[in-house]
Amino acid sequence: MIQGSNRRIAVKTLDIVVDGEKEFQTKITTIGQTHHRNLVQHIGYCIDGSRELLVYEYMSNGSLADFLFKCNIRLSWKKRVKIALDVAKGVLYLHDECEVCIVHCNIKPQNILMDEVWTAKISDFGFARLSMPEHSRATTIDESTSGYMAPGRHKDALASIKIDIYSYGVVLLEIICCRRNIDINVLSEEELILLSWVYKCFVKGELSKLVVDDEDVEWKTMERMVIVDLWCVQEDLSLRPSMRKVILMLEGLKEIPIPPSPTPCLIFYELINLILYSSLSLNFHV
């Protein structure tokens, strides 16, 4: 709580190393220039010796991950559709509408926070990667980002906005299905990797399998979301749409062609993620 007022805030201690106070303040200046309803508002900062603290608006409903993966009661279909659009609009702003193109590089449900009226806002973008419109170095890899990083990141490849498009696609799948992209607690082996299972259901015309417990699903909207998603997670960077096109397609304002199948290489990449970050020994038939 801010002293002398009733305003609640969130304070974050940075867990990354920033090369010097000057660079820290330069990045803070860039963050301070971002203003969008789908980004968590940055209020201020503090440098206390070796500690660097960031102050944000307080998001009273926690993270999207809590509601997708931990809550016994699902968010309604309409809320999930709105959240998907909220996140897309936040990413569009970072890529195209603020003064410096910001490639987030860590889009996942844990970094999508919900305010008191269920508006989704992207967090943790401040010290992601500030970039020129095309490229930025991305080197951080850890278990928390597994499954959301596009193929190529493990090779320390140059990051582009298309990396965020891939991550958004994975999150969109999780929003649709209310489960993790990689999940060992499933009924059958084919459901382990959400990406491959969704494509199989799409080809067979069995999308209803993805939302068994939902009663208010709008099927045309769901099919449109799945098709958009399958474009976002294409291995070929050139096939992934811009976020502006993603929004137009999600809103039904742009025709969506049928996407090609996710390549065997991409499915194998997700399989490796599953093996690397699972604590259980599983038998796979590849």
Going by their DSSP bridges, the two strands 136-137 and 129-130 should be labelled as: unpaired
Question: Are 77 and 153 contained in the same domain?
Answer: yes
Per-residue model confidence (pLDDT) at position 274: 56
**Beta carbons of 276 and 146 less than 8 angstroms apart:** yes
Q: What is the pTM of this model?
A: 0.84
Instruction: State the DSSP code for 39.
Output: B
Identify whether 284 is part of a domain: no
Per-residue model confidence (pLDDT) at position 208: 93
Question: Are 42 and 172 contained in the same domain?
Answer: no
Residue 32 belongs to domain spanning? 9-57
Question: Are 69 and 175 contained in the same domain?
Answer: yes
Identify whether 69 is part of a domain: yes
Per-residue model confidence (pLDDT) at position 130: 46
Question: Are 40 and 157 contained in the same domain?
Answer: no
Question: Are 27 and 141 contained in the same domain?
Answer: no
How far apart are the C-alpha atoms of 45 and 54, rounded to whole Å? 4
Q: What is the pLDDT of residues 176-216, one digit of tens each?
A: 999 999 888 888 888 888 998 999 999 999 999 999 878 89
Question: Are 77 and 213 contained in the same domain?
Answer: yes
Question: Are 135 and 227 contained in the same domain?
Answer: yes
The gap between the terminal CA atoms of the chain, to the nearest Å, is 53
Q: Which of 42, 57, 72 is at the close of a domain?
A: 57
Number of domains, the chain: 2
Identify whether 224 is part of a domain: yes
Per-residue model confidence (pLDDT) at position 151: 66
Per-residue model confidence (pLDDT) at position 179: 92
How far apart are the C-alpha atoms of 217 and 194, rounded to whole Å? 19
SS3 label, residue 85: helix
Question: Are 88 and 169 contained in the same domain?
Answer: yes
Query: 163: Cβ–Cβ under 8 A, 6 or more apart, which residues?
Result: 103, 105, 138, 149, 150, 153
Per-residue model confidence (pLDDT) at position 226: 97
Question: Are 32 and 130 contained in the same domain?
Answer: no
pLDDT along the chain (286 residues), means of 10: 87 69 76 90 84 89 93 88 98 92 91 95 72 42 58 55 94 95 84 90 94 88 96 92 97 93 61 52 41
Q: Looking at the chain, which runs of residues are DSSP E strands?
A: 9-13, 42-48, 51-57, 102-103, 112-114, 120-122, 129-130, 136-137, 158-159
How far apart are the C-alpha atoms of 218 and 221, rounded to whole Å? 5
Question: Are 189 and 250 contained in the same domain?
Answer: yes
Identify whether 191 is part of a domain: yes
**Beta carbons of 90 and 59 less than 8 angstroms apart:** no
Question: Are 160 and 75 contained in the same domain?
Answer: yes
Identify whether 285 is part of a domain: no
**Beta carbons of 181 and 195 less than 8 angstroms apart:** yes
Identify whether 4 is part of a domain: no
Identify whether 116 is part of a domain: yes
CATH number, position 45:
3.30.200.20
Per-residue model confidence (pLDDT) at position 8: 92
Identify whether 1 is part of a domain: no
CATH number, position 173:
1.10.510.10
Q: What is the pLDDT of residues 103-135, one digit of tens each?
A: 898 999 999 999 999 999 999 885 654 444 444
> Count of CB atoms within 10 A of residue 159's CB?
24
Q: Which helix (H) or strand (E) holds 22?
A: helix 20-32
Question: Are 40 and 119 contained in the same domain?
Answer: no
